[in-house]
Amino acid sequence: IITKLSAMGYPEATAENGLLMKAKSYANCMIGKVS
């Protein structure tokens, strides 16, 4: 994930941002399964 963000132009992807993105995608996955 960090390398993808860097490639997209983010100068520094912190571990905190990575965890946030993982949490969001995980939440979206769970919502999709429930719906």
Q: Are 5 and 16 in contact (CB under 8 A)?
A: no
Per-residue pLDDT of the chain (35 residues; tens, 9 = 90+): 556 655 666 555 566 667 778 878 888 878 888 76
Q: Tell me, what's the pLDDT at 1? A: 58
pTM metric for this prediction = 0.41
Residues ≥6 apart with Cβ < 8 Å to 13: 1, 2, 5, 6
User: Given this model, what pLDDT does residue 6 score?
Assistant: 57
